[in-house]
């Protein structure tokens, strides 16, 4: 009961700090020139301050050190504190990298190097890595060699860090999707009794919601790369802290948590490959762009994607609660294939990869025509 009260207080404190800090960060962003100017890819029509991620970061960090002394003794073990310091250390590198990019617009290579550095701090500095392999349809966890686990961990952190950045295109979109993902992790951590992950998730959620007061449409400040990269990094590390088992089945849980940004990232890569464009080349064909092209308003587009994120979150919670039996594993695989099929259909309907190429829809139409032809022939006889 006491722990729950402290977590609730921490959530409120982080929210209030973010509400207080965001206007100050807004002034600071204008002062240092960390601004976002309109162009053909942007939906805003006036100069906007960036660096909003700094407010989330400050609210998160300040609240951690404000609440830690009041937590019951023994609640967080030394290895739990190691996880907290790993997130703070790597997150500090990420927030500095993002802040510099908000001001000076760093190259993609420089940002990638910085993200790898932050991931290496987590892996080598604190010894945290994905180190167990769950054999599909088996019951035992098997350790995997460092030369495999280390690159997997770094790839996961860097990949998720960038996924959030790619969907940061509308007011409140990336912050809202991140908040839903963090809330999902908090619920799952509560179910599993994972105190450090729950502690960090609740405080980070408070900071995000406090920032959303100023970031929802019409936004008064953007989170910038400082916010998108920091939230992506936090999602990567928190999901890894809570779900370190890597497998076709068990790794579905963290993938579902970040389902929307991950899906948008994958389709962006496929789209650019199909259209023979550089993988890192920006475009205006992301999920939120396509929904707006279909006639949805700014707010409605954001709310639709929030709704999709919430569905992914519920699926993640349900999937993690399934007993890991052979039947449950088969059920999970069936759900995966159905979900992938539906995502492909949805992407073709809205033109997420190509406005003209619709292979699955075309195949379904041909099958339907063949069935209708057979039925017509049968009636004729």
Taking only the tens place, the pLDDT of each residue in 263-308 is 887 877 788 787 777 766 666 777 777 787 777 888 888 998 899 8
Max avg pLDDT among 5-9, 10-14, 37-41, 330-334: 10-14
Between the alpha carbon of residue 35 and those of residues 38, 51, 88, 164, 170, the distances in Å are 10, 8, 26, 20, 16
pLDDT value of residue 339: 75
User: What's the whole-number mean pLDDT along residues 116-132?
Assistant: 88
pLDDT value of residue 280: 64
Question: pLDDT: is 84 or 255 the higher one?
Answer: 84
Report how far residue 199's alpha carbon sits from residue 190's, in angstroms, rounded to the nearest whole number.
Answer: 10
- Structure confidence at residue 247 as a pLDDT band (50, 70, 90): very low
Nearest to 54 by CA among 101, 31, 22, 23: 22
pLDDT value of residue 369: 80
**Span of 223-227, 248-252, 331-335 with lowest mean pLDDT:** 248-252
Beta strands in the chain (DSSP E): 35-36, 48-49, 132-134, 141-143, 245-246
- Structure confidence at residue 125 as a pLDDT band (50, 70, 90): very high
Nearest to 188 by CA among 242, 142, 113, 265: 242
pLDDT value of residue 119: 96
Calculate the CA dihedral of residues 98, 104, 108, 109 and round it to 10 degrees: -100
pLDDT value of residue 273: 80
**Residues of 218-231 as b/e, b for ≥16 C-beta within 10 angstroms?**
ebebbbbbbbbbbb
User: What's the whole-number mean pLDDT along residues 241-249?
Assistant: 50
pLDDT value of residue 189: 86
Q: Examine the pLDDT at 97 and tell me if it is beyond 80.
A: yes
pLDDT value of residue 154: 93
pLDDT value of residue 145: 65
Report how far residue 368's alpha carbon sits from residue 94's, in angstroms, rounded to the nearest whole number.
Answer: 51
Max avg pLDDT among 40-44, 112-116, 249-253, 368-372: 112-116
Q: Examine the pLDDT at 259 and tell me if it is beyond 80.
A: no
Question: pLDDT: is 180 or 315 the higher one?
Answer: 180
pLDDT value of residue 252: 62
- Structure confidence at residue 260 as a pLDDT band (50, 70, 90): confident
User: What's the whole-number mean pLDDT along residues 92-98?
Assistant: 97
Q: First and final CA of the chain: distance in angstroms?
A: 74
Percentage of residues in the chain with pLDDT exceeding 90? 36
144-200 per-position pLDDT tens digit: 667 788 898 899 899 889 888 877 778 898 899 999 999 998 988 888 888 889 999
Strand pairing report for 48-49 and 141-143: unpaired
Question: pLDDT: is 291 or 54 the higher one?
Answer: 54
Question: pLDDT: is 146 or 134 the higher one?
Answer: 146
**Span of 136-140, 267-271, 315-319 with lowest mean pLDDT:** 136-140
pLDDT value of residue 134: 43
158-168 per-position pLDDT tens digit: 988 988 887 77
Q: Examine the pLDDT at 41 and tell me if it is beyond 70.
A: no
**Span of 165-174, 261-270, 333-342, 371-380 with lowest mean pLDDT:** 371-380
Listing DSSP states for 353-367 in one string gives S-SS--HHHHHHHHH
- Structure confidence at residue 39 as a pLDDT band (50, 70, 90): low
Report how far residue 319's alpha carbon sits from residue 252's, in angstroms, rounded to the nearest whole number.
Answer: 8
């Amino acid at each position: 009961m006491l722990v729950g009260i402290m977590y609730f207080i921490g959530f409120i404190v982080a929210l209030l700090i973010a509400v207080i800090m965001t206007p100050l960060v807004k002034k600071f962003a204008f002062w240092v020139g960390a601004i976002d100017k309109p162009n053909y890819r942007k939906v805003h029509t006036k100069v906007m301050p960036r660096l909003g991620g700094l407010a989330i970061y400050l609210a998160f960090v300040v609240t951690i050190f404000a609440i830690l002394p009041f937590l019951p003794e023994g609640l967080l073990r030394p290895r739990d504190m190691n996880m907290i310091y790993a997130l703070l250390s790597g997150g500090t590198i990420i927030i500095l990298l993002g802040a510099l990019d908000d001001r000076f617009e760093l190259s993609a290579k420089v940002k990638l190097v910085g993200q790898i550095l932050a991931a290496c701090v987590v892996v080598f500095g604190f010894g945290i890595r994905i180190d167990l392999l769950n054999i599909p349809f088996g019951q035992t966890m098997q350790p995997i060699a460092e030369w495999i686990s280390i690159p997997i961990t770094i790839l996961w952190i860097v990949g998720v860090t960038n996924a959030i950045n790619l969907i940061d295109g509308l007011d409140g979109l990336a912050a809202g999707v991140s908040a839903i993902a963090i809330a999902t992790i908090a619920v799952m951590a509560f179910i599993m009794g994972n105190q450090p992950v729950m502690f960090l998730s609740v405080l980070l959620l408070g900071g995000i919601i406090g920032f959303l007061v100023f970031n929802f449409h019409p936004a008064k400040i953007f989170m910038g790369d400082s916010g998108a990269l920091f939230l992506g990094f936090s999602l990567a590390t928190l999901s890894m802290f809570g779900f370190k088992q890597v497998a076709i089945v068990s790794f579905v849980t963290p993938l579902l948590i970040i389902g929307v940004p991950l899906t948008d990232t994958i389709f962006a890569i496929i789209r650019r490959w199909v259209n023979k464009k550089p993988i890192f080349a920006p475009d205006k064909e992301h999920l939120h762009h396509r929904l707006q092209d279909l006639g949805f308003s700014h707010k409605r587009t954001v709310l639709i994607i929030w709704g999709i994120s919430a569905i992914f979150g519920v699926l993640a919670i349900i999937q993690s609660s399934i007993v890991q039996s052979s039947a449950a594993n088969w059920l999970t695989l069936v759900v995966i294939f159905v979900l992938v099929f539906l995502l492909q259909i949805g992407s073709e309907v809205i033109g997420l990869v190509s406005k003209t190429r619709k292979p699955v829809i075309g195949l379904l139409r041909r099958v339907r025509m063949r069935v209708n032809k057979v039925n017509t022939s049968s009636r004729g006889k």
